[in-house]
Amino acid sequence: MSRPLLSIQGLKTQFNQSPKPVKAVDGVSLDIHEGETFALVGESGCGKSVTALTALRLLPSNAEVTAGHVFYKGIDLLRLPEMEMRKHRGARISMIFQDPMTSLNPVMSVGEQIAEAVLAHDNVVASELKNSVVQLIKQVGIADAHTHYDSFPHQLSGGMRQRVLIAIALASDPDLLIADEPTTALDVTIQSQILQLLKDLQRERGMSLWIITHDLGIVSQIADTVGVMYAGQLVEVASRDTFFKRPSHPYSQRLFDAIPKMDRRDKALVTLPGFVPSLSEPFKGCRFADRCEFSEAACTSSDIISWLVINEQHKVRCRRAAEIDITATNIAVDSFDLNNIEGHSLYVNDLKVHFPIKKGFLKRTVGQVKAVDGISFELQPATTTALVGESGCGKTTLAKALLRLLPITSGEILYKGEDLATVKERDFQVHRQELQIIFQDPFSSMNPRMLVADILEEGLRAQQPNLDDASVYQRCNELLIKVGLDSSVRLRYPHEFSGGQRQRLCIARALAVEPSIIVCDEPTSALDVSVQAQVLNLLKKLQHEKGLSYLFITHDLSVVSYIADQVAVMYLGRIVEYGSVDDVLNNPAHPYTKALIEAVPNWDESVSKKVIKLPDNMPSPADPPQGCHFNTRCAQVMPACKEAYPAAVNISSSHRVNCLLFSTASEK
């Protein structure tokens, strides 16, 4: 085989901090060849991003490379002077960082930022600079390139911002493009577009691609070779086809087992016992041994577990890989009692939340942003209604309006015989403890200066002021145990926990006042698949123990298939399809719902899919299109679709859709 474009050999990177250094990357070796797509997968904190940042020498001041080499076309990048390194970093090897909003300068137009990258790596004359930038904007699939040249990052959608970052990375025509979680925060439709764009650009330019992700669906669509990292080490490297047909490391297989699916709805998802080991402690033998059901004494008796070469395209760091059948799940999982528990339904009727647009010196109202524009649905006791749709469609606005965290323009929220939309704030306080919310980002939703005990006690003392200190203390300990944490963590701060543990704390805080309804706003979007499985199991267990109702906001349809009973599909402030999870996911009716479902990456080759590409031009809720709001992006649009908004049509007793394709069919 030819010499690799990039070869990392025995790389070790540590962060020097008190009391012990953290060995984030500990002996990683991998090769990326010309034109190849290499996917690096694993849990948060395993060292994926640090490996890439080390290769580009973009580490913080407390980081140190203690061993290893990074060869680019035979040149060791770690031994180059900084001035020489700049000829390679950004020029020959570019990187797309995870969060496009924080990676772009908010006070510079996107055209200026792309131009900055062009000038840094290419001697373009001033008269040709703008044309070069416009061509890059067009190449990454942004329409109206001349118009968007002068746009600022906040004026673009998430998908368009990610495309701008790709344009900046491509400005120097690199040989290798590193993409660090390029689609994590994007909706499935935008995610599909970005993945297709990367594949198209790779094919056109002949460049290599190194993608860092924890989404196995993305890996199946784009990778040639897959590397799995765990606790600072690579534990498996295989071709894509081999990896998805026969993963050989127990950790790799458990990643597959943790993925939520509809056929697992009545059982808990497979989760790994224990935690990822601390990277500041010395290791002996297999780093996964404490969590592996196949481990034996020999797994931790030797200092290092050597690679077992299965074939030239597949190797695994497991001494028992050749003798065990890891596809047989030996981890016991609990079943859920799916019988409904009596309780109170929440009825939402024609709910509207409009925000005034004010302009001029006198701040006169010149229009309305119709974030939620006539929503109706029922949330039944001990059930989960999933709310899905692209960013900006009004999901979170609806959730906050239900809890009166935003002003309601009109409509009804009926609960226990009262209209929560119209009661005075003083009277609504009675219901505050019954309606709780779990926010998307567990870290930013907790006060970093408060101990866990204070965070949990705050709600209890506010809603139940008659409780004495001993009762509050006991209640908080019970809550921590309920969500799978030890009561000793009450004296720790939020930053001392992992992402999954912080989300558990947020769940405990929501449960503290014994609610009946919990709004879950993207509670698993930033979690790895193994941690996500833990959180979903916990939510389902609590639901069937306490009869909780969930309004579950997400764009992950695999999560919807596992946890939801009903699904509401939102588009531009309105529900366009509503029904049971089986109705909506297995028999979608609305063209928009079909596009969402077809855009979900899937590694199962037996499932034939035809991806429906939606234009990246969702209209503004301040100026929705006449007629059906989806008509500007729909491939099946008819003249009548542009005249009046379609009424709801009942496809069955549990399934309704707002689409003229069905209105027309029902009239014939």
The answer to whether the beta carbons of residues 51 and 11 sit under 8 Å apart is: yes
Euclidean distance between CA atoms 398 and 386, whole angstroms: 13
**With 70 as the cut, is the pLDDT of residue 398 above it?**
yes
The per-residue pLDDT for 379 is 95
The per-residue pLDDT for 1 is 58
**With 60 as the cut, is the pLDDT of residue 261 above it?**
yes
Reported confidence tier of residue 373, pLDDT bands at 50, 70, 90: very high
**With 50 as the cut, is the pLDDT of residue 275 above it?**
yes
pLDDT greater at residue 605 or residue 238: 238
Among the listed residues 626, 660, 620, 666, the one whose alpha carbon sits nearest the alpha carbon of residue 643: 626
Domains of the chain (ranges, CATH numbers): 1-92+176-259+305-327 (3.40.50.300), 103-171 (no CATH), 346-434+515-667 (3.40.50.300)
91-110 burial, b at 16+ Cβ within 10 Å, e below that, comes to bbbbbbbbebeebbeeeebb
The per-residue pLDDT for 411 is 96
What would the mean pLDDT of 335-341 be, rounded to a whole number?
63
CA angle 444, 446, 452 (to 5 degrees): 145
Reported confidence tier of residue 91, pLDDT bands at 50, 70, 90: confident
Reported confidence tier of residue 450, pLDDT bands at 50, 70, 90: very high
**With 60 as the cut, is the pLDDT of residue 146 above it?**
yes
Euclidean distance between CA atoms 89 and 72, whole angstroms: 11
Share of the chain above pLDDT 70, in %: 94
Q: In this structure, what are the phi and psi dihedrals at residue 429, rounded to the nearest 5 degrees?
A: -55, -30
The per-residue pLDDT for 30 is 96
pLDDT tens digit string along 583-629? Answer: 999 999 999 999 999 888 776 655 555 656 677 667 888 889 999 99
Q: Where are the beta strands (DSSP E) in 181-272?
A: 208-213, 225-230, 233-239
Tokens, residue 199? 């594949």
Euclidean distance between CA atoms 91 and 169, whole angstroms: 9
Average pLDDT, rounded, for the chain: 88
The answer to whether the beta carbons of residues 211 and 218 sit under 8 Å apart is: yes
How far, in whole angstroms, is CA 494 from its chain's centroid? 21
> Measured between alpha carbons, how far is residue 81 from residues 24, 68, 177, 418, 605 in Å?
24, 17, 22, 71, 47
Euclidean distance between CA atoms 192 and 491, whole angstroms: 43
**With 60 as the cut, is the pLDDT of residue 667 above it?**
no
Most confident of 46-60, 170-184, 250-264: 46-60
pLDDT tens digit string along 462-471? Answer: 888 888 999 9
Among the residue ranges 317-321, 490-494, 617-621, the one predicted with the least confidence is 617-621
Euclidean distance between CA atoms 201 and 207, whole angstroms: 8
Q: What is the pTM of this model?
A: 0.85
The per-residue pLDDT for 665 is 52
In this structure, the dihedral spanned by the alpha carbons of residues 153, 157, 162 and 165, taken in order and rounded to 10 degrees, is -20
The per-residue pLDDT for 668 is 45
The answer to whether the beta carbons of residues 268 and 537 sit under 8 Å apart is: yes
The per-residue pLDDT for 67 is 97
pLDDT tens digit string along 530-540? Answer: 888 888 998 89
**With 60 as the cut, is the pLDDT of residue 521 above it?**
yes
Euclidean distance between CA atoms 168 and 118, whole angstroms: 8
The answer to whether the beta carbons of residues 345 and 412 sit under 8 Å apart is: no
Residue 175 has what DSSP assignment? S
The per-residue pLDDT for 534 is 85
pLDDT greater at residue 91 or residue 38: 38
Share of the chain above pLDDT 90, in %: 48
Reported confidence tier of residue 664, pLDDT bands at 50, 70, 90: low
pLDDT greater at residue 658 or residue 535: 658
What would the mean pLDDT of 63-87 be, rounded to a whole number?
95
Q: Alpha helices of 87-125 — where are they, by DSSP H? A: 100-103, 110-121
Euclidean distance between CA atoms 539 and 267, whole angstroms: 13
How far, in whole angstroms, is CA 415 from its chain's centroid? 32
Tell the burial category of 335 from Cβ atoms under 10 Å away from its Cβ (0-12, 13-18, 19+): exposed
What would the mean pLDDT of 421-444 be, rounded to a whole number?
87
pLDDT tens digit string along 169-198? Answer: 888 889 999 998 887 667 777 777 788 888
**With 70 as the cut, is the pLDDT of residue 60 above it?**
yes
